[in-house]
Protein backbone atom coordinates (compact mmCIF):
# COMPACT_ATOMS: atom_id res chain seq x y z
CA UNK A 1 0.00 0.00 0.00
CA UNK A 2 1.45 3.42 -0.93
CA UNK A 3 1.77 6.42 1.43
CA UNK A 4 -1.30 8.18 0.07
CA UNK A 5 -3.42 5.07 0.43
CA UNK A 6 -2.09 4.63 3.95
CA UNK A 7 -3.13 8.16 4.91
CA UNK A 8 -6.60 7.58 3.45
CA UNK A 9 -6.89 4.41 5.51
CA UNK A 10 -5.83 6.30 8.64
CA UNK A 11 -8.40 9.03 7.97
CA UNK A 12 -11.09 6.38 7.51
CA UNK A 13 -10.05 4.74 10.79
CA UNK A 14 -10.45 8.13 12.52
CA UNK A 15 -13.93 8.67 11.05
CA UNK A 16 -14.93 5.11 11.96
CA UNK A 17 -13.83 5.50 15.60
CA UNK A 18 -15.38 8.94 16.19
CA UNK A 19 -18.73 8.21 14.52
CA UNK A 20 -18.88 4.88 16.37
CA UNK A 21 -18.52 6.49 19.81
CA UNK A 22 -20.80 9.49 19.26
CA UNK A 23 -23.47 7.43 17.48
CA UNK A 24 -23.56 4.78 20.21
CA UNK A 25 -23.71 7.28 23.07
CA UNK A 26 -26.53 9.17 21.37
CA UNK A 27 -28.49 5.99 20.57
CA UNK A 28 -28.07 4.70 24.11
CA UNK A 29 -29.30 7.99 25.55
CA UNK A 30 -32.33 7.88 23.26
CA UNK A 31 -33.20 4.26 24.03
CA UNK A 32 -33.00 4.88 27.77
CA UNK A 33 -35.47 7.74 27.33
CA UNK A 34 -37.79 5.55 25.26
CA UNK A 35 -37.89 2.92 28.00
CA UNK A 36 -37.50 -0.83 28.21
CA UNK A 37 -38.47 -2.87 25.15
CA UNK A 38 -39.46 -6.33 26.32
CA UNK A 39 -42.05 -7.35 23.74
CA UNK A 40 -41.31 -8.14 20.11
CA UNK A 41 -43.99 -5.67 19.02
CA UNK A 42 -42.91 -3.42 16.13
CA UNK A 43 -44.88 -0.62 17.78
CA UNK A 44 -42.12 -0.25 20.38
CA UNK A 45 -39.60 0.36 17.62
CA UNK A 46 -41.86 2.92 15.95
CA UNK A 47 -42.01 4.70 19.32
CA UNK A 48 -38.22 4.47 19.58
CA UNK A 49 -37.81 6.14 16.20
CA UNK A 50 -39.80 9.14 17.44
CA UNK A 51 -37.02 10.00 19.87
CA UNK A 52 -34.61 12.64 18.48
CA UNK A 53 -31.54 11.15 20.23
CA UNK A 54 -32.32 7.76 18.71
CA UNK A 55 -32.64 9.33 15.25
CA UNK A 56 -29.37 11.28 15.63
CA UNK A 57 -27.63 8.15 16.89
CA UNK A 58 -28.89 6.11 13.94
CA UNK A 59 -27.82 8.79 11.44
CA UNK A 60 -24.30 8.95 12.91
CA UNK A 61 -24.13 5.15 12.99
CA UNK A 62 -25.09 5.19 9.30
CA UNK A 63 -22.02 7.38 8.68
CA UNK A 64 -20.05 4.87 10.76
CA UNK A 65 -21.37 1.98 8.69
CA UNK A 66 -20.53 3.67 5.35
CA UNK A 67 -16.99 4.55 6.48
CA UNK A 68 -16.65 1.02 7.84
CA UNK A 69 -17.75 -0.35 4.46
CA UNK A 70 -15.13 1.78 2.71
CA UNK A 71 -12.49 0.61 5.20
CA UNK A 72 -13.54 -3.02 4.72
CA UNK A 73 -12.87 -2.68 1.00
CA UNK A 74 -9.28 -1.61 1.76
CA UNK A 75 -8.13 -3.86 4.59
CA UNK A 76 -8.64 -7.29 6.21
CA UNK A 77 -11.73 -7.79 8.36
CA UNK A 78 -9.60 -8.95 11.26
CA UNK A 79 -7.74 -5.61 11.05
CA UNK A 80 -10.84 -3.44 10.64
CA UNK A 81 -12.89 -4.72 13.55
CA UNK A 82 -10.22 -4.35 16.24
CA UNK A 83 -9.65 -0.81 14.96
CA UNK A 84 -13.29 0.09 15.42
CA UNK A 85 -13.19 -1.52 18.85
CA UNK A 86 -10.61 0.96 20.12
CA UNK A 87 -13.74 3.01 20.77
CA UNK A 88 -14.43 0.84 23.88
CA UNK A 89 -12.47 3.02 26.29
CA UNK A 90 -13.87 6.21 24.74
CA UNK A 91 -17.38 4.79 25.11
CA UNK A 92 -16.63 3.91 28.74
CA UNK A 93 -15.48 7.47 29.47
CA UNK A 94 -18.43 9.03 27.65
CA UNK A 95 -20.75 6.59 29.40
CA UNK A 96 -19.38 7.55 32.79
CA UNK A 97 -19.33 11.32 32.39
CA UNK A 98 -22.14 11.94 29.90
CA UNK A 99 -24.62 9.12 30.52
CA UNK A 100 -23.64 8.78 34.23
CA UNK A 101 -23.35 5.00 34.01
CA UNK A 102 -21.95 3.37 37.12
CA UNK A 103 -18.87 1.50 35.95
CA UNK A 104 -17.94 -1.16 38.49
CA UNK A 105 -14.37 -2.45 38.86
CA UNK A 106 -15.36 -5.61 36.97
CA UNK A 107 -16.53 -3.48 34.10
CA UNK A 108 -13.31 -1.42 34.08
CA UNK A 109 -11.24 -4.61 34.20
CA UNK A 110 -13.21 -6.05 31.30
CA UNK A 111 -12.95 -2.87 29.24
CA UNK A 112 -9.18 -2.64 29.87
CA UNK A 113 -8.64 -6.30 28.94
CA UNK A 114 -10.68 -5.83 25.77
CA UNK A 115 -8.66 -2.73 24.86
CA UNK A 116 -5.41 -4.61 25.54
CA UNK A 117 -6.61 -7.34 23.22
CA UNK A 118 -7.50 -4.73 20.61
CA UNK A 119 -4.02 -3.14 20.73
CA UNK A 120 -2.35 -6.53 20.29
CA UNK A 121 -4.56 -7.34 17.35
CA UNK A 122 -3.90 -3.92 15.80
CA UNK A 123 -0.10 -4.26 15.61
CA UNK A 124 -0.20 -6.46 12.57
CA UNK A 125 -0.13 -5.55 8.87
CA UNK A 126 -3.48 -4.23 7.66
CA UNK A 127 -3.62 -6.65 4.74
CA UNK A 128 -2.38 -10.23 4.91
CA UNK A 129 -3.90 -11.45 1.68
CA UNK A 130 -2.12 -10.29 -1.49
CA UNK A 131 -4.77 -8.93 -3.85
CA UNK A 132 -8.10 -10.60 -4.52
CA UNK A 133 -8.27 -14.40 -4.34
CA UNK A 134 -7.60 -16.37 -7.54
CA UNK A 135 -11.26 -17.10 -8.32
CA UNK A 136 -12.26 -13.43 -8.04
CA UNK A 137 -9.80 -12.10 -10.64
CA UNK B 1 -31.25 -11.18 33.65
CA UNK B 2 -33.69 -13.71 32.30
CA UNK B 3 -33.31 -16.08 29.37
CA UNK B 4 -34.92 -13.67 26.93
CA UNK B 5 -32.35 -10.98 27.68
CA UNK B 6 -29.49 -13.40 27.11
CA UNK B 7 -31.14 -14.29 23.81
CA UNK B 8 -31.13 -10.61 22.77
CA UNK B 9 -27.45 -10.29 23.79
CA UNK B 10 -26.68 -13.43 21.80
CA UNK B 11 -28.42 -11.84 18.82
CA UNK B 12 -26.21 -8.76 19.17
CA UNK B 13 -23.14 -10.97 19.48
CA UNK B 14 -23.85 -13.29 16.55
CA UNK B 15 -25.56 -11.07 13.96
CA UNK B 16 -22.75 -8.49 13.97
CA UNK B 17 -19.74 -10.71 13.09
CA UNK B 18 -21.71 -12.84 10.60
CA UNK B 19 -23.04 -9.70 8.92
CA UNK B 20 -19.58 -8.12 8.90
CA UNK B 21 -18.04 -11.26 7.39
CA UNK B 22 -20.63 -11.34 4.62
CA UNK B 23 -19.96 -7.64 4.00
CA UNK B 24 -16.20 -8.19 3.97
CA UNK B 25 -16.51 -11.04 1.48
CA UNK B 26 -18.82 -9.03 -0.77
CA UNK B 27 -16.74 -5.86 -0.55
CA UNK B 28 -13.59 -7.71 -1.60
CA UNK B 29 -15.51 -8.74 -4.73
CA UNK B 30 -16.60 -5.15 -5.34
CA UNK B 31 -13.11 -3.68 -4.80
CA UNK B 32 -11.91 -0.32 -3.46
CA UNK B 33 -14.51 2.44 -3.35
CA UNK B 34 -14.40 6.02 -2.05
CA UNK B 35 -16.98 7.44 0.38
CA UNK B 36 -17.86 10.13 -2.20
CA UNK B 37 -18.47 7.53 -4.92
CA UNK B 38 -22.24 7.02 -4.65
CA UNK B 39 -22.42 4.96 -7.83
CA UNK B 40 -19.81 2.65 -6.33
CA UNK B 41 -21.79 2.38 -3.10
CA UNK B 42 -24.96 1.45 -5.01
CA UNK B 43 -23.02 -1.12 -6.97
CA UNK B 44 -21.71 -2.53 -3.69
CA UNK B 45 -25.22 -2.91 -2.24
CA UNK B 46 -26.36 -4.79 -5.37
CA UNK B 47 -23.79 -7.50 -4.62
CA UNK B 48 -25.73 -10.43 -3.02
CA UNK B 49 -23.15 -10.99 -0.25
CA UNK B 50 -23.22 -7.30 0.66
CA UNK B 51 -27.03 -7.34 0.58
CA UNK B 52 -27.21 -10.40 2.84
CA UNK B 53 -24.64 -8.83 5.15
CA UNK B 54 -26.79 -5.71 5.45
CA UNK B 55 -29.86 -7.84 6.31
CA UNK B 56 -27.85 -9.50 9.11
CA UNK B 57 -26.67 -6.11 10.33
CA UNK B 58 -30.29 -4.91 10.42
CA UNK B 59 -31.05 -7.89 12.67
CA UNK B 60 -28.06 -6.88 14.76
CA UNK B 61 -29.37 -3.33 14.99
CA UNK B 62 -32.84 -4.37 16.14
CA UNK B 63 -31.43 -6.55 18.93
CA UNK B 64 -28.86 -3.87 19.78
CA UNK B 65 -31.55 -1.21 20.21
CA UNK B 66 -33.57 -3.61 22.36
CA UNK B 67 -30.56 -4.35 24.56
CA UNK B 68 -29.77 -0.65 24.96
CA UNK B 69 -33.32 -0.01 26.15
CA UNK B 70 -32.77 -2.09 29.32
CA UNK B 71 -29.00 -2.12 29.80
CA UNK B 72 -26.13 0.39 29.99
CA UNK B 73 -24.14 1.13 26.84
CA UNK B 74 -20.99 0.35 28.84
CA UNK B 75 -22.44 -3.11 29.49
CA UNK B 76 -23.89 -3.99 26.08
CA UNK B 77 -20.83 -2.99 24.06
CA UNK B 78 -18.23 -5.00 26.03
CA UNK B 79 -20.63 -7.89 26.62
CA UNK B 80 -21.21 -8.32 22.90
CA UNK B 81 -17.49 -8.22 22.02
CA UNK B 82 -17.49 -12.01 22.38
CA UNK B 83 -18.29 -11.77 18.69
CA UNK B 84 -14.53 -11.31 18.22
CA UNK B 85 -13.88 -14.95 18.85
CA UNK B 86 -16.57 -15.85 16.35
CA UNK B 87 -15.09 -13.31 13.96
CA UNK B 88 -11.58 -14.74 14.18
CA UNK B 89 -12.96 -18.21 13.49
CA UNK B 90 -14.92 -16.92 10.49
CA UNK B 91 -11.88 -14.97 9.23
CA UNK B 92 -9.68 -18.03 9.59
CA UNK B 93 -11.94 -20.75 8.23
CA UNK B 94 -14.44 -19.06 5.89
CA UNK B 95 -12.49 -16.05 4.54
CA UNK B 96 -9.10 -17.89 4.71
CA UNK B 97 -7.33 -14.89 6.22
CA UNK B 98 -4.14 -15.57 8.14
CA UNK B 99 -4.78 -14.91 11.86
CA UNK B 100 -1.42 -14.24 13.57
CA UNK B 101 -0.44 -15.43 17.06
CA UNK B 102 -0.62 -11.84 18.32
CA UNK B 103 -4.19 -11.53 17.06
CA UNK B 104 -5.13 -14.79 18.77
CA UNK B 105 -3.68 -13.48 22.05
CA UNK B 106 -5.58 -10.24 21.53
CA UNK B 107 -8.77 -12.20 20.97
CA UNK B 108 -8.14 -14.22 24.15
CA UNK B 109 -7.73 -10.97 26.13
CA UNK B 110 -10.96 -9.61 24.65
CA UNK B 111 -12.79 -12.78 25.66
CA UNK B 112 -11.55 -12.65 29.25
CA UNK B 113 -12.58 -8.99 29.35
CA UNK B 114 -16.09 -9.99 28.33
CA UNK B 115 -16.10 -12.46 31.21
CA UNK B 116 -15.38 -9.66 33.67
CA UNK B 117 -18.00 -7.28 32.29
CA UNK B 118 -20.82 -9.82 32.27
CA UNK B 119 -20.31 -10.74 35.95
CA UNK B 120 -21.48 -7.24 36.93
CA UNK B 121 -25.03 -5.83 36.86
CA UNK B 122 -26.27 -4.78 33.42
CA UNK B 123 -27.78 -1.45 34.37
CA UNK B 124 -26.99 1.43 36.71
CA UNK B 125 -29.61 1.71 39.43
CA UNK B 126 -31.02 5.20 39.21
CA UNK B 127 -33.58 6.98 41.35
CA UNK B 128 -36.81 7.57 39.41
CA UNK B 129 -36.82 10.60 37.11
CA UNK B 130 -33.10 11.23 37.65
CA UNK B 131 -32.80 11.36 33.90
CA UNK B 132 -34.55 14.74 33.57
CA UNK B 133 -32.26 17.63 32.66
CA UNK B 134 -33.16 19.74 35.68
CA UNK B 135 -32.97 18.38 39.20
CA UNK B 136 -36.22 19.98 40.27
CA UNK B 137 -38.78 17.47 41.51
CA UNK B 138 -41.44 16.44 39.02
CA UNK B 139 -44.85 17.98 39.63
CA UNK B 140 -47.30 15.57 41.17
CA UNK B 141 -50.34 14.68 39.15
CA UNK B 142 -53.39 14.26 41.31
CA–CA separation, B137 and A58 (whole Å): 31
pLDDT for B72-108, tens place per residue? 888 888 888 777 778 777 778 877 877 788 878 888 8
Average pLDDT, chain B: 79
pLDDT for A28-38, tens place per residue? 999 888 887 77
Which chain A positions have a beta carbon within 8 Å of B46's beta carbon?
none
Are B78 and A107 an interchain contact pair (Cβ–Cβ within 8 Å)?
yes
**A133 inside domain:** no
Domain ranges of chain B: 3-119
**A75 inside domain:** yes
- Of residues A104 and B87, which shows the higher confidence score? A104
B 19-78 residues with CB < 8 A to A = 20-21, 23-24, 27-35, 41, 44, 57, 62, 65-66, 68-70, 72-78
- Is the predicted pLDDT of residue A18 greater than 60, yes or no? yes
CB A105 within 8 A of CB B86: no
CB B76 within 8 A of CB B61: no
Are B73 and A24 an interchain contact pair (Cβ–Cβ within 8 Å)?
yes
Which chain B positions have a beta carbon within 8 Å of A128's beta carbon?
97-98, 100
pLDDT for B14-27, tens place per residue? 998 888 888 878 88
Give the nearest partner residue to A32 out of B99, B103, B131, using CB atoms: B131
pLDDT band at B123 (very low <50, low <70, confident <90, very high): confident
Give the nearest partner residue to A77 out of B21, B105, B124, using CB atoms: B21
Q: Which residues of chain B form beta strands (DSSP E)? A: none
Closest B-chain CA to A74: B32
- Is the predicted pLDDT of residue A26 greater than 90, yes or no? yes
Task: Locate all alpha helices (DSSP H) within chain A, ordered by sequence.
Answer: 3-34, 42-48, 52-72, 77-85, 87-97, 105-122
CB A61 within 8 A of CB A24: yes
With both helix axes pointing from N to C terminus, report the angle between B38-45 and B3-30 in degrees, rounded to the nearest 10. Answer: 120
**A100 inside domain:** yes
Rounded to two decimals, the ipTM of the complex is 0.71
**A132 inside domain:** no
CB B40 within 8 A of CB B46: no
- Is the predicted pLDDT of residue A66 greater than 60, yes or no? yes
Tell me the pTM.
Answer: 0.72
Domain count across chain A: 1
**A137 inside domain:** no
Count of residues for chain A? 137
Amino acid sequence: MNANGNRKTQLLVLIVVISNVIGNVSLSHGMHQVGRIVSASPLDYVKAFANPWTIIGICILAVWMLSDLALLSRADLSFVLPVTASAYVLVALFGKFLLHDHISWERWMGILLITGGVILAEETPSRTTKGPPEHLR
Amino acid sequence: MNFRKYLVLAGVTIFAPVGDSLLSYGMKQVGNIALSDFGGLLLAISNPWVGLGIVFLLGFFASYMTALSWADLTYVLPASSLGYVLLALIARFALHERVSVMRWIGIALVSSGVGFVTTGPEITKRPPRSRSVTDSPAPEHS
